[in-house]
Amino acid sequence: MTPHGPHPTGGTLRLEGICVTRGETEVLKDLSLSVAPGSFTTILGPSGAGKSTIFELLLGSLAPDAGRITLDGAPLKPDLFAYMPQRDALMPWRRILSNVTLGLEVQGMSRAAARARVLPLLPRFGLDGFERHWPQQLSGGMRQRAALARTIVQDRPVMLLDEPFGALDAMTRRDMQRWLEAQRDGAPQTTILITHDLREAVALSDRIHLLSPRPARVVRTFDVPLPRPRLTAAPTEAALKLENDILDTLMQGDTT
Amino acid sequence: MKDALQRAVSRAWPALAAVAGLLLAWELGCRLTDMDPATLPTPTRVLEQGWLARDVLWRNLLPTLGATLAGFALSLTTAFAFAVAIDFAPPLRRALFPVFVISQTLPLVAIAPLVVLWFGFGLLPKILLVALVTFFPMLVALVDGFTATEPEIARLLRAMGASRRGVFLRARLPSALPFFFAGLRISITYAVVAAIFAEYAGAARGLGIFILNAKNNFRPDLVLAAVALSSALTLVLFGLAALLQHLAMPWRRT
């Protein structure tokens, strides 16, 4: 087990007054948002708004020009995040099991220990029986589940999912969203999702931060108090109303 | 396994038929025009004389094989060392690449006798010449291979907390494998030719010096027998490289 225990949730993550300029382009301008521990928080915004830049800031591969990022008021520590990139980024030269254990091995766990820890979790991801397969033998949905498994087993306080289902076909995407929602029973891990899919945001999130087009700032924050599970049937009246609200806000943002 | 053999045979037969047709045309051409064997011997004569000279051919094949493999080992290790250095310190690339490119522009015909002059008639000048010829393709293959790493995989590893060295070992090195083997297959075909050329410029034994002697004795049949042997050697080495790739990259087999 990790020193944090299972599903450590960390504290409240806060971004305040963040500005990022790349070359001549202002990417983020006075962006502020917070993420409550254990919550599923979505950063929703138009394509090219600079959503992925926020993850770069959190992961420390980019420093903001202004503003600060804190966890419970203190600067970020390393080993806080487990990151899932847009494409699955599975290594073609590693079998599925070794791809899933990658993060644990990088943390210094022995290969045998990492395998022993990950193997019993594979059925939950629908990957049992595929641990010896190469990534290119799997369908897009299975690859994405393997990438999610690789992210979750790292047992970091916060998961960062960068448009995880963007490359999937509509039906597989729906399956994966439903599956991800089912994973949030029990003690949920703090999750930050980046997406431009409005329906995905409403279906999965506790809270949605809506970004403006570039230079991005948070236009409005929506709480999503809808009961779960939400993806078992067609969207409810309340969900559709919220979708329309968000859409309206987006449109207004466009005209100003 | 048996299926694989059948597939290999069914893939190979057009090439085999083409080679057989070429040899048949050569044989018939020589016989029908009553060609002087001191000018152009028939394939059957080449085979026959080569068989009679098998002991001396074998004795001359071994030094050539030795020079090829030793030179190749030298160029592989230096190319790997330089490629890793360039990967970790990209400015080195700008400093070193012009030198390496110039090394590739040197005409082997002119360089080979000089290298023999400097290092004598032993194995060393052959090793150096083989290394000179094969170093650059291997270096380029490795440097390009490291660079071809998917950026998302590298970013993922860094997000997991991997060091630069960790990213190199877990992502850049395996990403370079297909490039490495492509370079290996190309340079192995140069390697045998380079070894023979080095011997041609001066050697005690080897296929190169055997060819030179046979030519001076007006024995084109023995020249061609040695040429066929060097081709066979190259093909075997090429096949070994392909086999090595097959074994080293099992994920490419599916």
pLDDT digits (tens, 9 = 90+) for B119-128: 988 889 999 9
pLDDT digits (tens, 9 = 90+) for A62-103: 999 999 999 988 888 888 999 999 889 999 999 999 999 999
Residues A61, A142 within the same domain:
no
Residues A52, A165 within the same domain:
yes
* Cα Rg of chain B, angstroms: 22
| pLDDT of A4 strictly over 60 | no
Percent of chain A at pLDDT exceeding 90: 51
Distances from the Cα of B95 to the Cα of B92, B99, B106, B166, B172, angstroms: 5, 8, 19, 26, 22
Q: How many CB pairs under 8 A join A and B?
A: 54
A20 within a domain of the structure (yes/no): no
B100 within a domain of the structure (yes/no): yes
Between A9 and A229, residue with greater pLDDT: A229
| pLDDT of A256 strictly over 60 | no
Domain that holds residue A209: 27-80+160-256
- CB contact under 8 Å between A91 and B171, yes or no, is yes
- CB contact under 8 Å between A106 and B160, yes or no, is yes
- Cα–Cα distance between B71 and B242 in angstroms, integer? 19
Percent of chain A at pLDDT exceeding 70: 94
B159 within a domain of the structure (yes/no): yes
Question: Binning pLDDT at 50, 70 and 90, where does residue A1 land?
Answer: very low
Residues A135, A197 within the same domain:
no
Q: Does B164 touch chain A (CB under 8 A)?
A: no
- Cα–Cα distance between B70 and B76 in angstroms, integer? 10
Reference B141, options B164, B114, B112, B175; nearest CA is B175
Question: What is the structure's pLDDT at A7?
Answer: 45
Specify whether the CB–CB gap between A56 and A62 falls below 8 A.
yes
Region A221-247: mean pLDDT is: 86
A166 within a domain of the structure (yes/no): yes
A200 within a domain of the structure (yes/no): yes
- Cα–Cα distance between B1 and A176 in angstroms, integer? 39
A59, A61, A134 ranked by CB distance to B251: nearest = A134
Q: Which among B156, B168, B181 is the top mutation candidate for probing chain A, defined by the most A β-carbons within 10 Å of its own β-carbon?
A: B156
Residue with token string 């152009």: B40
Percent of chain B at pLDDT exceeding 90: 76
Taking CB atoms and an 8 Å cutoff, what residues of chain A touch B254?
Answer: 134, 136-137
Distances from the Cα of B134 to the Cα of A250, B63, B129, B137, B186, angstroms: 60, 18, 9, 6, 9
Question: What is the structure's pLDDT at A78?
Answer: 80
A87, A103, A136 ranked by CB distance to B160: nearest = A103
A210 within a domain of the structure (yes/no): yes
| pLDDT of A6 strictly over 60 | no
Find the closest chain A residue to B253 by CA distance. A134
B73 within a domain of the structure (yes/no): yes
| pLDDT of A19 strictly over 50 | yes
Q: What are phi and psi of A183, to 5 degrees?
A: -70, -15
**A146-166: string of b/e by CB count within 10 Å (b at 16+)?**
bbbbbbbbbbbbbbbbbbbbb
One-letter amino acid for residue B219 of the chain: R
B45 within a domain of the structure (yes/no): no
To the nearest 5 percent, what fractions of chain A are helix, strand and coil? 35, 25, 40
The residue out of A156, A176, A196 marking a domain boundary is A156
Distances from the Cα of B99 to the Cα of A134, B83, B104, B137, angstroms: 41, 14, 9, 14
Question: What is the structure's pLDDT at A253?
Answer: 60
| pLDDT of A8 strictly over 80 | no
- CB contact under 8 Å between B254 and A85, yes or no, is no
Question: What is the structure's pLDDT at A87?
Answer: 86
Distances from the Cα of A139 to the Cα of A136, A146, A162, B112, B138, angstroms: 8, 11, 20, 55, 35
Between A208 and A79, residue with greater pLDDT: A208
| pLDDT of A224 strictly over 60 | yes
Question: What is the structure's pLDDT at A58?
Answer: 93
Q: Does B91 touch chain A (CB under 8 A)?
A: no
B152, B171, B249 ranked by CB distance to A87: nearest = B152
Q: Which among A61, A81, A96, A106 is the top mutation candidate for probing chain B, defined by the most B β-carbons within 10 Å of its own β-carbon?
A: A106
**B196-231: string of b/e by CB count within 10 Å (b at 16+)?**
bbbbbbbbebbbbbbbbebeeeebbbbbbbbbebbe
Percent of chain B at pLDDT exceeding 70: 99
Which residues of B, range 173-202, sit inside 8 Å of A by Cβ?
Answer: 174, 177
Instruction: Copy the structure tokens of residue A233.
Output: 């049937």
For residue B90, the cross-strand partners are: none
| pLDDT of A254 strictly over 60 | no
B22 within a domain of the structure (yes/no): no
Domain count, chain B: 1
CATH of the domain at B88: 1.10.3720.10
| pLDDT of B31 strictly over 60 | yes
Taking CB atoms and an 8 Å cutoff, what residues of chain A touch B251?
Answer: 92-93, 134-136
Residues 6+ apart with CB under 8 A from B226: B50, B57, B60, B207, B210, B211, B214
Instruction: Copy the structure tokens of residue B50.
Output: 């080569």
For residue A15, the cross-strand partners are: A33, A69
Region B228-243: mean pLDDT is: 94
CATH of the domain at A234: 3.40.50.300
The residue out of A156, A184, A211 marking a domain boundary is A156
Taking CB atoms and an 8 Å cutoff, what residues of chain B touch A138?
Answer: none
Q: Give the number of other Cβ atoms within 10 Å of residue B106's Cβ.
A: 13
Question: Binning pLDDT at 50, 70 and 90, where does residue B61 land?
Answer: very high
B33 within a domain of the structure (yes/no): no
Residues A191, A240 within the same domain:
yes
Question: What is the structure's pLDDT at B1?
Answer: 57
Find the closest chain A residue to B171 by CA distance. A91
Label residue B101 exposed, middle or buried (CB < 10 Å: 0-12, 13-18, 19+).
exposed
- CB contact under 8 Å between A102 and B159, yes or no, is no
Residues A136, A122 within the same domain:
yes
Q: Does A108 touch chain B (CB under 8 A)?
A: no
Residues A178, A132 within the same domain:
no
A121 within a domain of the structure (yes/no): yes
pLDDT digits (tens, 9 = 90+) for B137-149: 999 999 999 999 9
Residues A56, A137 within the same domain:
no
Reference B194, options B117, B106, B100; nearest CA is B106
Question: What is the structure's pLDDT at A5?
Answer: 41
B49 within a domain of the structure (yes/no): no
Backbone dihedral region for residue B34 (phi beyond 0: left; psi -120 to 50: alpha; all else: beta): left
Q: Which among B160, B167, B170, B249 is the top mutation candidate for probing chain A, defined by the most A β-carbons within 10 Å of its own β-carbon?
A: B160
Question: What is the structure's pLDDT at A86?
Answer: 85
Specify whether the CB–CB gap between A14 and A69 falls below 8 A.
yes
- Cα–Cα distance between A40 and B186 in angstroms, integer? 53
Domain that holds residue B67: 61-253
Residues A58, A169 within the same domain:
yes
Question: Binning pLDDT at 50, 70 and 90, where does residue B170 land?
Answer: very high
Q: Which among A76, A91, A133, A136 is the top mutation candidate for probing chain B, defined by the most B β-carbons within 10 Å of its own β-carbon?
A: A91
- Cα–Cα distance between A210 and A247 in angstroms, integer? 10
| pLDDT of B204 strictly over 90 | no
A83, A86, A107 ranked by CB distance to B159: nearest = A83
Reference B210, options B72, B51, B53; nearest CA is B53
| pLDDT of B118 strictly over 90 | yes
- Cα–Cα distance between A35 and B29 in angstroms, integer? 85
Region A200-225: mean pLDDT is: 91
ipTM: 0.85
Residues A73, A99 within the same domain:
no
Q: Which helix (H) or strand (E) holds A123?
A: none
Instruction: Copy the structure tokens of residue A72.
Output: 């419970």
- Cα–Cα distance between B210 and B190 in angstroms, integer? 19
Specify whether the CB–CB gap between B155 and B170 falls below 8 A.
no
Specify whether the CB–CB gap between A84 and A148 falls below 8 A.
yes
A69 within a domain of the structure (yes/no): yes
Cis bond leading into A8, ω under 30°?
no
Residues A180, A70 within the same domain:
yes
Residues A66, A150 within the same domain:
no
The residue out of A156, A177, A197 marking a domain boundary is A156
Question: Binning pLDDT at 50, 70 and 90, where does residue B184 land?
Answer: very high
How close does chain A come to B150, measured CA to CA in Å?
Answer: 8
Residues A72, A168 within the same domain:
yes
Question: What is the structure's pLDDT at A69?
Answer: 94
Region B198-224: mean pLDDT is: 91
Q: Does A177 touch chain B (CB under 8 A)?
A: no
Reference B89, options B19, B164, B162; nearest CA is B164
Reference B122, options B70, B180, B55; nearest CA is B70
A213 within a domain of the structure (yes/no): yes
A127 within a domain of the structure (yes/no): yes
B192 within a domain of the structure (yes/no): yes
Domain count, chain A: 2
Instruction: Copy the structure tokens of residue A156.
Output: 């970091």
| pLDDT of A180 strictly over 70 | yes
B152, B162, B177 ranked by CB distance to A89: nearest = B152
Question: What is the structure's pLDDT at A81?
Answer: 93
Region B74-88: mean pLDDT is: 96
Label residue A117 exposed, middle or buried (CB < 10 Å: 0-12, 13-18, 19+).
middle
Region B3-16: mean pLDDT is: 83
